[in-house]
Structure 1
Amino acid sequence: MSESARENGERPRRGFHGGKAVGVLARGFIDFVLPPVCFVCENPLDASPGLCMTCWARLSWIERPYCARLGTPMAYDLGEDALSAEAIADPPPFERARAVCLHDEISRELVHGFKYRDRLELGAAMARWMVRAGADLVRDADVIVPVPLHRRRLWRRRFNQAAVLARAIASSSGTPAELRALSRIRATQRQVGLERKSRQTNVRGAFAVEREMREAISKRRVLLVDDVYTTGATVKACTRALLRGGAGHVDVLTFARVVSPASLTI
């Protein structure tokens, strides 16, 4: 499998690939033998695979009111353009961020299944929810760009989860995706377990827009896509690289968002 295909979020192709009719029959047979189950608890479902009512209710969906800049939940509705204390004290380089849900037990199981257990069907569902949660960002975007993986990590993981999400969002919205517009030019330590300042140091200068890709984002509103927003260190570093590369504006759309309990009381 080529490195380009890996960067585009594709997974290795194995086995026989029949025609469309064969695929439909195969899926029907599989659904008959193995009825659809919940993505998380694996309880049987009546319809297509998704979340059962219990897991759906346990997912911490992000709904208004939220910060107009960071997309984080706010305890009180202060108006559509209201900003959180964090956004005022430390404005991010991107213009707007949105996420489907908080990073909790259910969303973590979905992300881990998608990213580490090759369950690409989870990515398709996550992308659909992202399109709804970030409808205004998707509508305003000129181009969709995923957060890239370094080639060594891409080789180990076999696909870039952010690229899979970006492709699905692009397909749904009709907005073009430039999957190679942003490159990770320096291998970085895994962000998991690092404190906020260490995360920022870890990704500083790790991203760049290659010269041949600058025309694709020049003066355009870029929608940057990733699976989880933790401290924001990665998407902020990516945003700065995109702006240096000529992008006009950058918005951020993720599936899950880590939010401190203290910020939820604001």
Structure 2
Amino acid sequence: MPAATLLRESLAPLVDLIYPPRCPVCGESIAQQDGLCPACWSELVIPGAPACARCQRPIASDVAEGTMICAPCLAHPPRHDGIAAGTIYNDTARKLVLAFKHGRRIALAPMLARLVAARLPVLEGEWLIVPVPLHRWRLWRRGFNQAALIARELALGTGGTLTVDALHRHKRTPMLGGLGRKARAKTLSGAIAADPRRAASLRGANVVLVDDVLTSGATSEACVAALKRAGAKRVIVACFSRVLEEGKGGMPGWNPDNETPGAEAPGAT
């Protein structure tokens, strides 16, 4: 058992005594710090079949056909090699992300990572676990990279190699809400690049790119492009929650200018 996990488990009774565990979504008492109450668990939407063979987007069909391609992938074939989303973004997922990222409930990272890991394919061979990077000023202001926290737990659970500095965000970018595909790509042009010091490890590598929420996909596309330019062989995008365009309009608190849909405090990653 990793030393960090052993320490966390040994201190858990003391933490529970000082801070009785409560559901981060509704506040009900629960058994452990990184869980949810049964009612909130039941409100999470877990992706399932049938789904797009390229991006795993759920497809409304009575036939569980493994070769179906969704309309967005037909219109713009993705550069990634699949998406593994732990949940579909809804109000419950939104509250979890807000508690984790803006409420600084970083103890939720193991639970979020377990949901992501359940959707990953079997990772045969060696894999790098790479978080989506934050610009240094946003990292300084927030104090942590939420994607890196999930990536660390994924690495512990899958045996992959955590590589937090594989990508760098060199340019601070504005919020992407309301921009079209070409405008988003132009805004992110040159913003994210692979670290030259990781060139050898990225060349021919299999990579799991980790983020908390996949919204428009513009940031992940820029990261995938940077990894592929650096020679990565395969890149799977893994996220806790995935926003589906068709579900945004009916989401409570939806604001297209926020990095986290429905977040009270906007800000770009």
Cα contact 2:168–2:192 (8 A) shared by 1: yes
Equivalent in the alignment of 2:43: 58
1:91 aligns with 2:91: no
Whole-Å Cα distance in 1 between the matches of residues 28 and 132 of structure 2? 33
1:242 aligns with 2:227: yes
Cα contact 1:94–1:250 (8 A) shared by 2: yes
1:257 to 242, 247, 251: 242
**Structure 1 residue 33: Cα displacement:** 5.6
Equivalent in the alignment of 1:124: 110
CA deviations on 1:52-72 (whole Å, 9 max, x unpaired) are 121111112111111121111
**Structure 1 residue 27: Cα displacement:** 3.2
1:208 to 193, 199, 219: 193
**Structure 1 residue 140: Cα displacement:** 6.2
Q: Structure 1 counterpart of 2:30, which letter?
A: L
- Looking at both structures, which has the greater relative contact order when contacts are Cα pairs under 8 Å and sequence separation is at least 6? 1
Q: Structure 2 counterpart of 1:69, which letter?
A: R
Residue aligned with 2:118, SS? helix
Residue aligned with 1:256, SS? strand
1:196 aligns with 2:180: yes
Cα contact 2:34–2:111 (8 A) shared by 1: no
Alignment of 1:99-248 (within 5 A): 99-136=85-122, 138-139=123-124, 142-191=127-176, 193-197=177-181, 198-248=183-233
Inter-CA distance 49–242: structure 2 relative to 1 (3 Å threshold): closer
Q: Structure 1 counterpart of 2:203, which letter?
A: S
Residue aligned with 1:238, SS? helix
Q: Structure 1 counterpart of 2:168, which letter?
A: S
**% same residue:** 35
Residue aligned with 1:135, SS? coil
User: What stretches of structure 2 of length at least 5 have no aligned partner?
Assistant: 1-5, 249-269
Whole-Å Cα distance in 1 between the matches of residues 86 and 157 of structure 2? 16
Equivalent in the alignment of 1:3: none
**Structure 1 residue 209: Cα displacement:** 1.1
**Structure 1 residue 134: Cα displacement:** 1.5
Alignment of 1:3-82 (within 5 A): 20=7, 24=10, 27-32=12-17, 34-46=19-31, 49-76=34-61, 77-82=63-68
**Structure 1 residue 214: Cα displacement:** 0.7
Whole-Å Cα distance in 2 between the matches of residues 53 and 262 of structure 1? 24
**Which portions of structure 1, spanning 4 or more consecutive aligned residues, are displaced by more than 6 angstroms?**
none
Whole-Å Cα distance in 2 between the matches of residues 52 and 148 of structure 1? 32
Q: Structure 1 counterpart of 2:185, which letter?
A: Q
Q: Structure 2 counterpart of 1:87, which letter?
A: C
Whole-Å Cα distance in 2 between the matches of residues 226 and 20 of structure 1? 26
Cα contact 1:214–1:245 (8 A) shared by 2: yes
Whole-Å Cα distance in 2 between the matches of residues 54 and 214 of structure 1? 46
Aligned pair count reads 241
TM-score by length of 2: 0.82
CA deviations on 1:200-235 (whole Å, 9 max, x unpaired) are 322122111122111111111111111111111000
Q: Structure 2 counterpart of 1:45, which letter?
A: I
Q: Which range is displaced more, 70-79 or 222-231?
A: 70-79
TM-score by length of 1: 0.83
